[in-house]
Amino acid sequence: MQPRSRALAILSLMALLGLGVVRAASATTITFANTALGESSAFPFSGAYADTFGATRYQQVYNEALFSGLSDISAVTFYGAGSFGQCSSTFPDQCEPVPNANGIYTLSLSTTSKGVGALDTNMANNVGVDSQTFFSGALPPYPGDAPLTFSVVTPFLFNPAARNLLLDVQFSGVTNNSTASYVTQNGDFDGTSSRMLNGSTSGTAGWGLVTSFTVGPAATVPEPATLLLVWSGLAAAGVQRWRRR
């Protein structure tokens, strides 16, 4: 093999080895609001939301500024509010385990062009073209005062440069009137998040679930120049092999 071809082959081998390298970094958690200072709400995982209000959908937008860059979201966590101090003779039902709503829930993430506090009452208009479902089925048991985490098996690639993150929750077949509550910010999200309730602007600005996202840096994608180097080296090696026959 000629020196030039040998060099190309060596470089292509190095590039091939480099293709398998992904940036090593541990996952981090981004939490919107504070679980210790939150309030509670039955929206959207209680049967009462669907039964009393006739609701079928809930959306929440999260400010992109809390994300440091291109991110893979691998889990979404909400926080059960437990009895929130209401267990008493006046509220005996709050002393018993409270179920989540029954029925079928579908949870999705997408990139939305809508701003915090500016979700459209036509909820379909808020959903981005990259919408990805990460859960569909009956809700897990109510966690009490513990977290409720949904894994995003195929991580959702979120680019904060493209605007804000949207959680879209749709549900049907809810027949129980459960009062399962989760930790929320009730009017004091300070511009980082807001919700939309079944197409109504009532109780939306500064309101929403305290939410945590488990994120990691997006996997490194080989640059075109690296791929060109690989193919050039392989081609050179192939030509030399053919000439030696």
pLDDT at 71 over 70: yes
pLDDT at 4: 52
pLDDT at 241: 55
pLDDT at 88 over 50: no
Contact status, residue 43 vs residue 49, Cβ threshold 8 Å: yes
Ranking 77-81, 83-87, 135-139 by mean pLDDT, the lowest is: 83-87
Q: Where are the beta strands (DSSP E) in the chain?
A: 28-32, 39-41, 57-62, 71-79, 104-112, 132-137, 147-158, 164-172, 182-186, 193-197, 207-209, 211-217
% of residues, the chain, pLDDT over 90 = 58
Mean pLDDT of all residues in 83-106: 68
pLDDT at 240: 55
Ranking 6-15, 28-37, 103-112, 120-129 by mean pLDDT, the lowest is: 6-15
Ranking 9-13, 45-49, 148-152, 218-222 by mean pLDDT, the lowest is: 9-13
Distance CA 67, CA 160 (A): 6
Which domains, and CATH codes, for the chain? 22-219 (2.60.120)
Distance CA 119, CA 112 (A): 9
pLDDT at 16: 44
pLDDT at 93 over 60: no
pLDDT at 37: 80
Distance CA 19, CA 96 (A): 55
pLDDT at 222: 52
% of residues, the chain, pLDDT over 70 = 73
pLDDT greater at residue 145 or residue 88: 145
Mean pLDDT of all residues in 56-82: 96
pLDDT at 196 over 50: yes
pLDDT at 202: 73
Provide the 8-state DSSP code for 80.
B
pLDDT at 224: 53
Residue type for 142, please? Y
Mean pLDDT of all residues in 142-158: 96
